[in-house]
């Protein structure tokens, strides 16, 4: 049976989003946090601390994702996360952000295969308190890099390999490289999870049909556009307009309680960058959401969209 995973998306799929999607729809087999980075190698920032606070993830199968190029910092973080009750940690080798790449982290690490080996050698040199999975792209500039990168991963006991089938230079453009997925299914030693451009339940099921060797599918942007997608994948009903409105209102209320109305506007605009794809025939209302400066303006524009069938 396939695992259906919620992808980590910075500023979008945080702890409050996870709570809301679990409450209103469910169906997620694993929730991955937006990436966590160490501060001076020993602590997390306040925002990141909220992501891994056990009380913020009660009852949810959450996997913290870690972004670092420092093996000692990673090992320390594994211990901290294990002490908090987490049994798995996911390493980020896929983030395409320019700031991240400049530091040689995320997908920027893929340019240094020897450095990757040293990193994993250090991590797996001692018994770990958690299992380790990896989320990766298939290269930095060219898919021809993928066999050498996969050969590195194959040397270590990864619990899963989550593959976003693009190179860093693709960002989120171009189509996912299906040849790279087929190659990984044939060659990877760890269970393989697909990620990239999954926009519907039907599309996720088609991937599992086309690649029966996959152990799961991770969905990011498609799950923000359709928060009910995981329930569908578990055999439930498609999300209704009333359910979407209830989800939105609940999430908005939680954001306001934590961040205040002003900062909540920024967070909701980020959400509508994806949710707005549900309303291709309402450009004026979507534009109003991104122009709004007050809570009243936002609620009026959001209500107009959410009232659409």
Question: What pLDDT is recorded for position 309?
Answer: 41
Average pLDDT over residues 195-220: 95
The string of DSSP letters for the chain reads --EEEEPP-TTTSSHHHHHHHHHHT---SEEEPSPB--BTTTB--HHHHHHH-GGGSTTS-EE-EE--S-HHHHHHHHHHHHHTT--EEEEEE----HHHHHTT-GGGGGG-HHHHHHHHHHHTTS--SSEEEEEEES-SS-GGGHHHHHHHHTTS--S-EEEE-S-GGGTT-S---HHHHHHHHHH-SS-EEEES---SHHHHHHHHHH-TT--EEEESHHHHH-TTHHHHHTT-PPPPHHHHHHHHHHHHHHHHHHH-HHHHHHHHHHHHHHHGGG-TT-HHHHHHHHH--SHHHHHHHHHHHHT--
Would you say residue 206 has pLDDT above 80? yes
CATH number for 3-233 (one of 1.20.1260.10, 3.20.20.70, 3.30.9.10, 3.50.50.60): it is 3.20.20.70
- What is the residue extent of each domain of the chain? 3-233, 241-306
Computed over every residue of the chain, the mean pLDDT equals 94
Question: What pLDDT is recorded for position 298?
Answer: 95
CA distance 265 to 219: 25
CA angle 13, 139, 63 (to 5 degrees): 30
User: For residue range 174-193, what is the model confidence (pLDDT) as tens digits?
Assistant: 888 999 999 999 999 999 99
31 and 61 Cβ atoms separated by less than 8 Å: yes
pTM here? 0.94
Average pLDDT over residues 243-256: 97
Show the 3-state SS of 224-254: HHCCCHHHHHCCCCCCCHHHHHHHHHHHHHH
Question: What pLDDT is recorded for position 308?
Answer: 59
Question: What pLDDT is recorded for position 194?
Answer: 97
Would you say residue 120 has pLDDT above 80? yes
Q: In the structure, what pLDDT confidence band is assigned to residue 279 with cuts at 50, 70 and 90?
A: very high
């Amino acid at each position: 049976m396939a695992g259906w995973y919620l992808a980590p998306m910075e500023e979008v799929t945080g702890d409050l989003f996870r709570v809301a999607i679990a409450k209103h729809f469910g169906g997620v087999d694993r929730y991955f946090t937006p990436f966590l980075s160490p501060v001076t190698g020993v602590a997390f920032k306040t925002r990141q601390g909220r992501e891994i606070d056990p009380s913020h993830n009660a009852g949810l199968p959450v996997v913290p994702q870690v972004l670092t190029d420092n093996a000692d910092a990673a090992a320390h973080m594994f211990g901290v996360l294990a002490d908090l009750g987490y049994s798995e940690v996911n390493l980020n080798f896929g983030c395409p952000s320019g700031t991240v790449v400049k530091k040689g982290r995320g997908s920027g690490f893929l340019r240094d295969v020897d450095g990757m080996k040293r990193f994993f050698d250090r991590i797996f040199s001692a018994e770990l308190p958690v299992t380790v999975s990896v989320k990766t792209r298939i290269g930095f500039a060219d898919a021809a890099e993928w066999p050498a990168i996969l050969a590195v991963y194959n040397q270590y006991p990864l619990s899963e390999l989550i593959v976003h089938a693009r190179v860093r230079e693709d960002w989120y453009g171009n189509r996912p490289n299906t040849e790279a997925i087929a190659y990984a299914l044939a060659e990877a030693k760890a269970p393989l999870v697909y990620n990239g451009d999954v926009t519907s339940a039907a599309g996720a099921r088609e991937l599992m049909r086309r690649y029966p060797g996959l152990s799961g599918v991770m969905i990011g942007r498609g799950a923000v556009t359709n928060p009910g997608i995981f329930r569908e994948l578990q055999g439930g009903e498609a999300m209704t307009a009333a359910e979407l409105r209830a989800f939105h209102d609940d999430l908005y209320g939680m954001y306001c309680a934590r961040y205040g109305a002003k900062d909540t506007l920024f967070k909701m605009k980020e959400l509508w960058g994806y949710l707005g794809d549900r309303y291709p025939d309402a450009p004026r209302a979507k534009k109003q959401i991104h122009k709004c400066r007050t809570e009243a303006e936002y609620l009026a524009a959001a209500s107009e969209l959410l009232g659409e069938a």
